[in-house]
Structure formats: C-alpha cells, structure tokens
Structure 1
Amino acid sequence: MLFPTLVIGLSLTATNPWAQMAEQDLKAMRQAILENHPGPVDPLNPSFKQWLDGGYRQALTRARQARSFGGYDFAIRYYAAGFRDGHLRAGAHVAPLRASWPGFILSLRQGRYVVASVDEKDPAQDTLPAVGSELLDCDGRAAQQMLEQDVLPFAAGADIESLRMKLTPILLQDVGNPEVKPPSQCRVKTGTEVRTVTLRYRPIPTEEHEKKLQGAAFGPTPSFGTHTFGKSGVWVSIPTFGPREGSADFEAMRSLVQQAGSWGGAEVLVFDVRGNTGGNSAWGKQLAQGLFGEALVKARYEDDPKARAVYVDWRASADNVRYLGEMTAQLGRQFGKDSHEEKWAGAVAKGLAEARRWGQPLWSEKEDASSTPPSSEPANPVRTRVYLLTDGRCGSACLDFADLMLSLPGVTHVGLPTSADSVYMEVRAMDLPSGTTRIIVPIKVYRNRPRGHNEPYVPARRFDGDIGDTAAVERWLLEQDAARDAAN
C-alpha cells in the first residue's frame, strides 16, 4: 500500500489524483530546471531547451494518462531520462512493496543477454532457463530491441555500454510501467539447443528484487578498507567519495587518506572503485596527493595546458547561492575551517551572489592562469605498479578520480568501462511538490574539459567475467600483473 501522503495537496474528490499529481510535479520539475540548471541559458548548447520544452510536452501527455503510482512515476522518469544526463535524474521516495518477475534475471556479457540467476525456490525450476543461457527474443522482439524500447527511454544517462549493463537485468521484469507489457514467451539458447520458455510471473519483495538486479548488473558494492593483494601488494577499496559526515564510512575515508603515503613501496597497488558513483572529488585528490605528492599531482593534473584551459560556468540563481552557502559550512566541518575546500566554496558563493546583483545568469569560475608552471617535472616517488579498477558505476567524482589517476605515471586502468557524465555537474537535490519524488539538478557546466561530454573511460585490460566476484577479479588481476611484470 502506498503512503497516504502521496496525495497531500490534491483534491480527494478529483477524478484522477495520480494524473493531477503527475502534472503538478512535472510542471515544478521543469521550472526547477529552468531556474537553476545552466542548460537553459547555456549559449554553447542551444539544443538543451528543445527537450526542456518538447520533452515536457511529451511527458505531460503521459502524466495526464496516469492511473496508478507506476503511471505517475514513469511519466516523471521519462522526462528526466530524455536529457540523457546521469546527473539530471528523478527518484521516488516510495516504491511498491512487491514487483513481479519470471523467476530469472539477465546480465549483459560481451554483447550477449545471458541468464545470471534463477529462482532456486521455484518448484518448477526445470522449466526455467539455465544460468548462462542466452536470451534470443521474446514475443518476436530481439533482446536488444526490448531494451531500447521498454527500458532505455525511462533511464537517465548516456546510452553507452555501462548503462546497458546496468539496465539489462530489468528486462523481462514487471516494475510497474503501464507502457510496457511483460512478454509471455521467450526463446533461449543453451549450448546449441534453442527452446521456447513460457514466462510465469510471480510476486517478489522489492528489497529482494533490487538485490538480485544489482547482483546481475555489477554485483554488490564492496566495503571500505585495505587488504593484502598477492604477496606484498595493497588492495584499496573506495566504494564512494560521498561518505556521510560522522558515519563509519566517513572515518574510513579519512583513514585511507592518512594511509596513502605508505602505499608507494608496495609491490603492487590497486585502487578498487567498484560501486563508486561519486561524491566529493576532494577526497580523490587528497588520496592522489598523499601517494604521489602534491607537486607531481599539480604538475601532471593542474599545470597541463589542457587542464589550465578548463573553467566552470555556474548558474547564478537565488537557490544556488543558498546552496553554496550551505556547502561552505559543510566543507568547513569536513575538511577544517579555512581549508582549501571551504575557501573555494565560499568564493563560488560570493561570485554567484555578485553575478545576481548584475543580472548575469552565469558566473565564470577560472583558475589563476598567470602563474608559470615549473620547467621540470618533480620526480615520481612511487615505484609500485598502480591499477585503477572500475566497473560501470564509476561516475561523477569517481570519473574525476579517473581523470586524475590516469594522468599520473605508472597507472593502468583495468576492469570494465566506466559510466560517463555530461559537462553539467555539481548537483542539488530538490523535492517535488507532492513530496513523492526527489529530483537531482546540476548547477554548473565545464568548459574545455579534456574528457568529452558523456565520454566513458575504456580499460586497458578488460575483465569480462562477473565483476562483482572479488576473488575472481583478484585472481585475474594477479595473472595480468604477472604477465606485465614478465614482459618488462
């Protein structure tokens, strides 16, 4: 049962409260983007407003047809997804207590849609496709076609491999989208045998279902910490750059920063960022500085000509000014009063306020380019082989960390292709009027960023097994490292 608060502010005598709520929230969502996102006033992206307005009209048509929570939810999702930006998204605070599934879940592996797990409690388990079987088509539609028609239009983010890997497990699942009719029959291939499977949908608790979907995509998110890798290597797990202040993860993150200077003498060093969807990029920079030294990080990452050409335009709205003021106080608590991070946020808040006084929609934040980079690069203090291990969830501040690490000497990218982000960054969370859904809206835009708009990183060495199986990944990476060592 959905919470009664879902219809607060709506007329209880309305013929269709779901449609009324969807229309109300869509209108507020468009207005929030119009007022706070750089896109509507971005002179370098005039096409942004095409979806802001045209997509809104399409989503409004869906909203007015909503007859359930699913109809409401997917109308909002459709509008957010059309921006094709993983930073601009919407998510409901509530969800149905149960979903429906056919007893098995798919994964995308090397371009094939394969069965990742089956319901081991199903008494008719023999009728389900075996783990490892390949899905060919359902009701006459190929698996890829179903993904593109039934799933991608409602998912935020660039249409790249990592997003398809994340979304493939949703195929064949009934998650409440009234526009999608669950298929009834599918053809699967096991070895050389092709057979038809009749799908029997049954309820599954939402929490259990989410765990199965996550496991089929990239596996569970690892925990913070370090452990020995191989004979004398170090494995560093960093599942987020956004630990909640005061939490155990926050203290674990601080501990990793303090330890970073001791890792340079390890035989091999692995930065494992599987599951890391971002947070505050200052953490990643502090890790890199602790390991490689501030001078080398500055020389490679900040003094590079391409890096010096980068600057940021911030959307100067009243709400964004307030947000930067709150961020200044938060960073002061996290990194210390008068820290670089606190001073930076304070300067941005002041710049936005000044732009508003002059009626300017954007404020440019530019680094001081008057300083001259040193003529010679500092020596690299790190003698170990360094690996950056990613899965398809690496986005936002995790991608910033990849930008930084891959600019440094001796770092090799392994695992799976990362996610990607647009040039619109630094997000704010806002609740829509019904209180049912929270939207995430970027408030700044990068200019001249070396990594392109919605461009992922592709690893130098790719792991095509189950990326969530840490033991298997470690065995594979030890083999890769041994081969690399032998070649040198």
Structure 2
Amino acid sequence: MRTSSSSRSAICSLIMACLFATAFPVLAQETSLTPAARFFRDAAMIDVEAAWSLLEHNHPGAAPSMRDDQFRQMLDKAHTVSRERATHVDTAEGYLAVMSGFSNMLDDKHLSFKPTLVVAKVDWVGLLIALRERRWIVVDESTWPGRAPLEGAELVECNGTPVDELARSRLGSFRADWSIEAQRGLAAPWLLIDERNPFLPRLTECTFKTGSGSRVVAMEWQPISRDLIIQRVNKAAGIGAAGFDVRRVGKGWWIAMGELTANGPAVVAAAQAHQAELRAAPFIVFDVRGNGGGASDLGDQIARILYGADALPDASSNVCPTPWRVSLDNKARLESYPKLLGDRLSPDASAAIAADIAGMNTAFETGREFSRPLRPCHKPKQIVAHASPRVFILTDRVCFSSCLILVDTFRKLGAIQIGEATNANTRYQENRSQPLPSGLGTFAVQATVDLTRPPRVGPFLPSLAYGGDLTNTREVEAWIISSVIPQSSSE
C-alpha cells in the first residue's frame, strides 16, 4: 500500500508519540501544561532522541571500532543532560536552549543545531562585552535611563559571581567550547544578552571597574529585535571580513580570501596572473580573516602558486582515502555526489566516489562499520621550493573547518601566522544536516574520518599576535608594515 506524504507524516508522528510515551510515561500523562507548553516539551524530548540517534548511527566517533572513547562519553553525557533538561521545557526558548546545549556539549561546531524557529526578540541591558586579553570589556553601549556611560569599563562580576566563572557557566554551557580561546571570544558579546533560557538565572546586578573606581549597576532589561542586535554582536565579537582580492600593499602583496567558496576561484586566477611578481615580492600577506571554511583545495592552489607545483603532494594521488561510517543515510549522501556536483567532479574524484560506494556496499554485506579498514596512513611529505617567498598568514578567531586545513598547510610550508588564534575542530569530516522530527530545526553530523590528522585540529596560535581591532583592515595593514615586517626581518 502506498501512502501520501501527509499520511506518512501522520504515521511517523504517531510512532514518535508512542515512543515518547513509552520513554517518558509520567510526563506523557501530564495535563497541567498549556497546549503550547506541551508542544515545546514534546518537541524537545523527541528531537533530543532524534539528534542522539543521528549521531549514534552515523558519526564515525560513535562506532565502537573507532575506539574514540572521548566522543562516546561526550555523546552519552549530552544525551543524558539534554533528556533531563527537556522534561522542564515549556517555552520556545526552553526548546532552543535544550537543543543548543546538546550541540555545544559535543565539542565540535560541525555538529550544530540550526533552528528554523527563531525567537524574534531578546532582552539586553544596552551593553555588549568583548574579551580582550582575558579582560571582559564594554565595547558597545546604548544610552540607558538613569545610567552613566560604561563603554571601556571592565566587567568584574554579576550576581556575586566572578566574571570568568560566570562566563564559563553561562556561555560555556550553551555557546562555546570553553577550552578554545577563539570560541570564548566569539561568544563574549552574548554574556549580557538574555535569550530567556530557563536554565540560566537572570542577572540582576553587575560590578564594573571604571577609571574612577568600581561601580555596581542594576541590570535593567529591555527587549530588542534579534536582527538589530546581531550586527552589533558580530562587530563586538571581532568578526571581520578579508574580502576577495589580490593587491599591492607597501612593497609587498596582499591576497585576501574571506571564504573558501564561490568567490575563491577568482582570487586564485588573480594570484596566478601575478605569480612572477608574487614570488619576487619581499613579503606576501595571505589574509583569511572571517574565513569559516569551504573547499580546502582553493588554499592548496594558492600554495602551489606561491611555493611551486611540487610544494604539495599531487592532488590526484588519493593515497589516504577517508573511511565512511556505514549507514543508509551516509550511503545516500555519498551516492548523491555525482548528480549533485556533476561536471565539477574531476575523473579522479569520480573514481574515488565510486570506490567509496563499492566499499560501503561491501561493508554492508560483511557487517563492517566503515567503508575502508581503519588503518594508520601517512601522506607524502610536502616539498618546499628552495626560493620561496616570505609569507604571512593573517588569521582570526573565525577560522574554522577547511580554513584550519589551509592554515596548517601554510604553516608547514614555512608561512608565519600572525593576528589571532584560530578556532579548532576534529578529524571528522563530510558534514550533512538532517531535519528534526518537530520541524523546528536541523542537526548536523559528520560521516568520515581523516586518519592522517590528530583527533583535534587546531587551534593554531599566531607567532605575532595583534591586540587591536582585527576588523579594521587599514590599521592591520599599518601594523604589519610598521611592526611585523621589521620584527620578522630581524629574527
């Protein structure tokens, strides 16, 4: 019997409801909740189970043969904590907090929860905080009734809790892996924004250190549109944009690649056109500020232009193919690539995909958990041309995913990292997202593992750190020409 999409949806909902009632029999019988509260509580409970199942059955780290005990422990903890939190949800904000917290406990921003439901307004006190050299500084402020200006003041404590402990408990529970400096910086502006998370107490009083001494300030909350605050949050967090160009700066050259996406090939083409001048330049700045990833091959192409065609192993030599976690959904993703990518697939890439599909089919037949054996593999060593230019790679806290691979490659080729510490991720790759049963969001999972890389990739720390505003390109250029170049020349 064939069923319509609406019938299948109804059947799926009925099955999920039965499973929910079985798993949480007492809560399923509650009648004191309003219909809206019940909806968000049920959604949280069902989506937590769905997110756990997605990771348990598709993520390489959850497979016993991978022996990634740390990932399995994180997944178990995230599941347990989130299930318990879900039993207390009665608002949209509670649902969002549960799912965001689940994602955050996995210590990999690739495993993200993306809501389709967005609460239009948040509450704030007219202050945005930035983390500057371990100090929590007010960097943006709106005029507030009865309050003297605080811009430039240092936040010391709130509700009697020292600011470092406060930030770790609030931001580190729902927004950031607190062990990574870049994520602390990106999350900092949200410290004095209240998203009505029911698992965090509202702040009522904070102490600031000003030029004239300490000030205790009552937190007077007011609503503000999320859309209005986001741009200011991004600026306070230091989220800049390199742009996309190849240009002269001082006596050297500047290559800007703000993303490894559709704008990247034009930068590669411009660099290729100026290859002789680039190689003869006294210095080159490769600017990847604001680069959250994309296609790492674009970075490899820039490396070959600057260092020579033999600077990296041949792109067609697939000596260390990445094993796929065996599952029906991962197989479907793999099989979608030829149609999805079409002419953009090289013959070598097409052959690799065909081999992966064959390996996946064999794994299904033999009961293996991966499409290929989990054997250590070592890629050919990089070869650097003797006459290589002096390259500085300019990074910020946004650098993530394929940007980390790019930075790692250039550092190994001899480039000097400057600017700010990068973000970090893991050896797991091939990200895809799946809708959650409630329809309120999606959850992402990785499908392959790169056995040539360590369990954690990054963060990469700069040899020369910039303490100013990395979003101000003119000031950053001046710093590089007046300070970085002379300092590196004397070493």
TM tier relative to shorter chain = 0.7 to 0.9
Q: Which residue of 1 aligns with 2:459?
A: 456
Contact residue 87 and residue 424 of structure 1 kept, 8 A: no
Contact 1:135 1:189 in 2 (8 A): yes
1:200 maps to amino acid = E
User: How does the TM-score come out when normalised to structure 2?
Assistant: 0.85
* 1:296-350 CA-partner distances (Å, limit 9, x unpaired): 2229x999xxx98x7643202121122122234444433x542x44443343333
Letter in 1 for 2:55: I
TM-score scaled by length of structure 1:
0.85
Change in CA separation of 1:47 and 1:143 when aligned onto 2, cut-off 3 Å:
same
Judged with a 3 Å threshold, the aligned counterparts in structure 2 of structure 1 residues 369 and 35 are, in CA distance, closer, same or farther, namely: closer
Residue 36 in 1 paired to residue 58 in 2?
Answer: yes
User: 1:348 is matched with which residue: 353, 356, 365?
Assistant: 356
In structure 1, the residue matched to 2:470 is 467
**Which amino acid in structure 2 is aligned with residue 313 of structure 1?**
P
What code does the residue aligned with 2:336 have?
E
With over 3 angstroms needed to count, the CA separation of the structure-2 counterparts of 1:55 and 1:118, relative to structure 1, is same
How does 1:26-425 map onto structure 2 within 5 Å?
26-43=48-65, 44-119=67-142, 122=143, 124=145, 127-129=148-150, 131-155=151-175, 157=177, 159-191=179-211, 193-230=213-250, 232-243=251-262, 249=263, 252=266, 255-256=269-270, 258-259=272-273, 261-262=275-276, 263-298=278-313, 312-334=322-344, 336-338=345-347, 340-364=348-372, 379-382=385-388, 384-409=389-414, 411-425=415-429
User: 1-side partners of 2:137 and 2:40: how far apart?
Assistant: 37
Instruction: Please list every run of 5 or more consecutive structure 2 residues that lacks an aligned counterpart in the other structure.
Output: 1-8, 18-33
Q: Secondary structure at the match of 1:357?
A: helix
- Quick one: structure 1 residues 78 and 330, their matched pair in 2 at CA, closer, same or farther if it must change by over 3 Å? same
Indicate how the Cα distance of structure 1 residues 324 and 290 shifts in structure 2: closer, same or farther if over 3 A, else same: farther
Distance across 2 between alignment mates of 1:45 and 1:366: 12
What is the Cα deviation at residue 112 of structure 1?
0.4
Distance 1:422 1:125, change over 3 A: farther
Give the Å deviation of 1:254. 5.5
Q: RMSD between aligned alpha carbons?
A: 3.1
What is aligned with 1:480?
483
5+ residue gaps, structure 1? 1-6, 244-248
- Native 8 Å contact 1:219 1:469 kept in 2: no
Contact 1:158 1:420 in 2 (8 A): no
Matched position secondary structure for 1:25: helix
Deviation of residue 225 (structure 1)?
Answer: 2.0
For 1:256 and 1:365, the matched residues in 2 are separated by 41
Using CA pairs under 8 Å that are at least 6 residues apart, name the structure with larger relative contact order, 1 or 2.
Answer: 1
Q: Give the CA deviation at 1:113.
A: 0.5
Deviation at 1:368, TM superposition (A): 12
1:234-291 per-position Cα deviation (integer Å, ceiling 9, x unaligned): 2222121133xxxxx3664554564473532333211111111111212211221222
CA distance in 1, matches of 2:176, 2:328: 26
The percent identity for this pair of structures is 26
> 1:178/1:65 Cα in 2 relative to 1: closer, same or farther (>3 Å)?
same
Residues 164 and 71 of structure 1: is their aligned pair in 2 closer, same or farther, counting only changes over 3 Å?
A: same
Q: What amino acid does structure 1 have at the position aligned with 2:366?
A: W
Q: 1:158 to 1:146 in 2, by over 3 A?
A: closer
CA deviation map 1:139-164 (0-9, x unaligned)? 10111111111121112546211111
The one-letter amino acid paired with 2:304 is Q
2:355 counterpart letter in structure 1? A
CA distance, structure 1, for counterparts of residue 102 and residue 374 of structure 2: 33
CA distance in 2, matches of 1:366, 1:136: 49
Residues 296 and 380 in structure 1, CA contact (< 8 A), matched pair in contact too: no
| Distance in structure 1 (CA, Å) of the matches to 2:230 and 2:37 | 33
Conserved? CA contact 1:331–1:341, under 8 Å: no
In the alignment, which residue of structure 1 is the partner of 2:5? Answer: none
Q: In the alignment, residue 449 of structure 2 is paired with which amino acid?
A: V
1:327 partner amino acid: Y
Contact conserved, 1:81 with 1:156, CA < 8 A, in 2? Answer: yes
For 2:335 and 2:146, how far apart are their aligned partners in 1? 57
SS in 2 for 1:364: coil
476-485 or 361-370: bigger deviation: 361-370
Q: 2: CA distance between counterparts of 1:371 and 1:400?
A: 14
SS of the equivalent of 2:330 reads: helix
Please say if residues 37 and 443 of structure 1, whose CA atoms lie closer than 8 Å, have aligned partners that are also in contact: yes
Query: Contact conserved, 2:436 with 2:442, CA < 8 A, in 1?
Result: yes
After superposition, what is the alpha-carbon deviation per residue over 1:342-397, rounded to whole angstroms, capped at 9, x for unaligned?
443343333223322322111337999899989xx563453x32111111111110
Query: Per-residue CA shift, 1:432-458, capped at 9, x if unaligned?
Result: 112211111111223252x55254111
Contact in 1 for aligned 2:206/2:219 (Cα 8 Å): yes
Aligned pair in 2 of structure 1 residues 111, 419: CA closer, same or farther (>3 Å)?
A: same
Q: In 2, Cα distance between the equivalents of 1:61 and 1:397?
A: 35
Q: Are 1:88 and 1:440, in contact at CA under 8 Å, matched by a contact in 2?
A: yes
How many aligned positions are there?
A: 461
Conservation of the 8 A alpha-carbon contact between 1:416 and 1:458: yes
